[in-house]
Amino acid sequence: MASTTNKVTLSNLKSLIKTFPSSPLSAESVQFSDALEAIAEKAFSSSSSSTSTTNQITSTSATTTNGTSSSSNNNSNSMEALKIAGHQRRIIQMRDSLIRIRNGNAMKTYPLTGRTLSPPNDPHYYTRFRNGVRNAEKGIHRPWWKIFFNIKGEE
């Protein structure tokens, strides 16, 4: 997917992050979307601090009249501008990556085979795993004797 040149805002990124479903395997306070939101907020806060630093450098360079200090300020201005452009490019890449994750591009590009989904040594492993998660959500536990004797089945 080619990245577009649209300006990415924090609110746009947060609305995209909110489209990810919550995970039943982790606690309510530890979710993938919460971690992504924190990363996005940190990225945008550092972006705004870089912008304010560039504005301060520009205002100082306008007040200097010496040619050498002005050229050094221009170099620092161009370096700051490159840093900001790189940072904005990384934010756009983050948005594009989130869209690819949400759309499931990896599952379409690299589909799982039957051997992966049903390993020969334990063909019902993933079925039991899924059912175990669903039962744990409901508060249903495996009987102690099934755990002790390592009794597995299709359930």
Whole-angstrom Cα Rg for the chain: 26
Q: How far apart are the first and last CA of the chain?
A: 41
pTM for this entry: 0.61
Tokens representing 102?
Answer: 């949400």
Q: At what angle do helices 10-17 and 67-103 cross, to 10 degrees?
A: 20
Domain locations in the chain as residue ranges: 113-154
Cα 94 to Cα 88: distance, rounded to the nearest angstrom: 10
pLDDT tens-place string over residues 29-41: 788 899 999 999 9
Q: pLDDT digit string (tens) for 62-77?
A: 444 444 555 667 888 8
Question: 80: which 2 tokens?
Answer: 């700051």
Please determine, for residue 4, whether its predicted confidence score (pLDDT) is greater than 80.
no
